[in-house]
Amino acid sequence: MDAAMTVKDDEHAELIALRAKVAELEQQIAYFQKQLFGRKSEQTLDSNQMSLFIGEFEAAQAALKATNEAQAKKTQVKGYDRKRKNAKEKLRPDLEVVKAVIDLTPEENACDSGWQLVSVGQHFVRTAVEFVPAKMVRREYFIKFIRKSELTVAATRSLCNRMFPMPSSLVAWRPHHFWPKSFMINMNLMCHFIDRSRISSD
């Protein structure tokens, strides 16, 4: 029983000591806050008290004064604004013109249906001036016009030059009353005879 009372008294005494320590610390914090943020911190320093940074302050003032005097002695030069170049300035007419044609890639040279496109013309894109050492050239860019290629069939050559065509080479419709069958047979025989006589004479 006495041991339990002794432990309880010790805990009570320790609690009282801790409370006293907390109160003391709170007083110290209040004092420091008053020194930092109170009315006294806003008051000017005593004129008789020397500042720790008086040397650095005087050196900075002297350097600033010397810089201002040096700038005052410099000659003032009147500034000017550089004129902006006109974007529409005309090019010299004697410039060499180099024509550059932009070729299409194989993917761009085919339509959606898979047709291979052929070149049918050019389209002017832009003009650029390039500086080449010792000379300038004017480069003009063009883009090719493209379209689908068309299949063409060569016409059948006549057996007899400067003669009527043979019936096999006639494509246009012809009425029977205008070209009788006997006349066409005679024409075929005549062409055949002329070709044979020409070969024998050669």
Domain extents for the chain?
96-148, 167-201
Q: Please state, in angstroms and rounded to a whole number, the distance separating the CA atoms of residues 150 and 152.
A: 6
In this structure, what token pair is assigned to residue 97? 């013109």
Q: Which pLDDT value is given to residue 60?
A: 77
Residue 166, Ramachandran bin (φ over 0: left; ψ between -120 and 50: alpha; else beta): beta
Mean pLDDT over 177-199 rounds to 55
Q: Which element (helix H / strand E) includes 140?
A: strand 135-148
pLDDT at residue 15 tops 80: yes
State which amino acid sits at residue 115: W
Q: How crowded is the C-beta side of 153, counted as CA atoms within 13 Å?
A: 3
Closest CA to 123 of 104, 150, 96: 104
pLDDT at residue 106 tops 60: yes
Instruction: Report helix, strand and coil shares of the chain as percent, to nearest 5.
Output: 40, 20, 40
Q: What is the pLDDT of residues 56-81, one digit of tens each?
A: 667 777 888 888 777 776 656 666 67
Reported confidence tier of residue 173, pLDDT bands at 50, 70, 90: very low
Order of strands across the sheet with 135-148?
96-102, 135-148, 117-132
pLDDT at residue 174 tops 60: no
Q: Which pLDDT value is given to residue 104?
A: 80
